[in-house]
């Protein structure tokens, strides 16, 4: 577990009735991620994953009005079926980015036949944390998790 700082971090923690391996697949396979990663009615229209430390993670979300919002970053830590850490502060191969916003850790722990799911978003300061919360972090990330569960329940 990563250290949680309530002044600069946001967290979503839930138990879901989906095995960790399926949650992992939803996060690491582009065609799956595109189906759940944006809260409806938004969509994810592009996803590129180079699943290695320093590898590119790139998505583009599209608003209902048709505006695209690209997000690019890189993976910092990968422990299959357990932990995925990525940041937009760096691009592929650890190249600095222009506009860092946050670093995220997705932590998966077996819980019965399901998963204890933790999404931990870390920000550089309280202002950026508040901006992310005001953007709807809890509702948006919660809705995306519901969509992930819905998708992977169909695959189970």
pLDDT of residue 99: 86
81-113 burial, b at 16+ Cβ within 10 Å, e below that, comes to bebbbbbbbbbbeeeeeeeebbbbbbbbeeeee
Under the banding of pLDDT at 50, 70 and 90, the label for residue 1 is low
pLDDT of residue 154: 84
Question: Contact, 11 vs 34, CB < 8 A?
Answer: no
- Give CA torsion, residues 50, 52, 55, 57, to 10 deg: 50
Residues 98-112, mean pLDDT to the nearest whole number = 95
| Domain 9-155: homologous superfamily in CATH | START domain (3.30.530.20)
Q: Over the stretch 8-48, which tens digit does the pLDDT of each residue have?
A: 999 999 999 999 999 999 999 999 999 999 999 999 999 99
pLDDT of residue 118: 97
Question: Contact, 94 vs 104, CB < 8 A?
Answer: no
pLDDT of residue 77: 97
φ, ψ for residue 22, nearest 5 deg: -75, -35
pLDDT of residue 2: 75
pLDDT of residue 101: 92
Under the banding of pLDDT at 50, 70 and 90, the label for residue 156 is low
Q: Percent of the chain scored above 90 by pLDDT?
A: 94
């Amino acid at each position: 577990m990563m250290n949680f700082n309530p002044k600069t971090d946001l967290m979503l923690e839930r138990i879901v009735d989906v095995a960790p391996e399926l949650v992992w697949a939803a996060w690491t396979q582009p065609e799956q991620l595109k189906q759940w990663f944006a809260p409806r009615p938004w969509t994810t229209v592009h996803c590129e994953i180079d699943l290695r430390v320093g590898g590119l993670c790139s998505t583009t979300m599209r608003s209902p009005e048709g505006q695209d919002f690209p997000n690019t970053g890189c993976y910092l830590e990968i422990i299959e079926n357990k932990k995925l850490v990525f940041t937009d502060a760096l691009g592929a191969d650890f190249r600095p980015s222009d506009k860092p916003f946050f670093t995220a850790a997705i932590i998966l722990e077996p819980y019965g036949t399901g998963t204890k799911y933790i999404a931990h978003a870390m920000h550089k300061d309280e202002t950026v944390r508040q901006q992310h919360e005001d953007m709807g972090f809890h509702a948006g990330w919660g809705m995306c998790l519901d969509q992930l569960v819905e998708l992977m329940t169909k695959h189970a």
